Amino acid sequence: MDRLPTPLPNPASPLRLDRALQLLAQSGQPAPPGEVGSAAWLQGVIDALVELSSRDALTGLANRRSFDLALDIDHFKRVNDRYGHIAGDAVIQAVAAALLDSVRPMDLVARIGGEEFAIILPSCASAFGETVAERIRRRVERMPVTVGAGQQITVSVSVGGAFAPQWVRSTPALWAERADQQLYRAKAMGRNLVQLEPAAVSIVSTEEKRLLFDSTGFQDFE
């Protein structure tokens, strides 16, 4: 008598989802809206878990710093000019895949321009942020990209990074600007480099002071 094949484990099994929903319920967060098991619903669960992991359970405040990386493909215009826009698209897709493969599931990778990317690493220590940035740079540098009729080329990236300490009231735009400043430094120093904002230097901008004092009622008497 033939034996039936053993079913493969489902990575999105009900047991794991039940555990995820239990964690959300314990933190006071409702289950995401939508059809249970749909792609949109599962993404809602993931987003809620990411938010939960970066918040203090008692107060709801951010419990650790975040790290923001800005990344640019070096000399991308040369790729388009020499090999064509189809090759340029292949390079962008290859770099995007490398980025996703170099970060944690909870991290956010986004394409914010033609050849520009941003990565947010929540609950990230400074040493880990530097490790991730260098891992990405080396991975892209060593990665052959197939363009045209089987021809392979290599590209590099410049990376800039900024920290977002939990005690600074800021905005995503301000921290993105700081990461961009470090990216410009990396490009000015020759490209294919990582330049990070020093973790020990926490410069509070005028805008951040305004956000702080406007929300607390205090005034800056400097």
Residue pLDDT tens, the chain, 222 long:
443 333 333 443 344 677 778 777 776 777 788 888 788 888 788 777 766 665 555 545 444 456 788 899 999 999 999 999 999 999 999 999 999 999 888 788 889 888 999 888 887 777 788 899 999 999 999 999 998 777 999 999 999 998 877 666 666 777 788 899 999 999 999 999 999 987 655 556 676 666 655 654 444 434
Q: Exposed (0-12), middle (13-18) or buried (19+): which is 145, by Cβ within 10 Å?
A: buried
Q: Which spans in 27-84 are helix H?
A: 39-53, 76-83
All structural domains of the chain: 66-206 (3.30.70.270)
Cite the active site residues. 115
Cα 119 versus chain centre, distance: 3
Whole-prediction pTM: 0.64
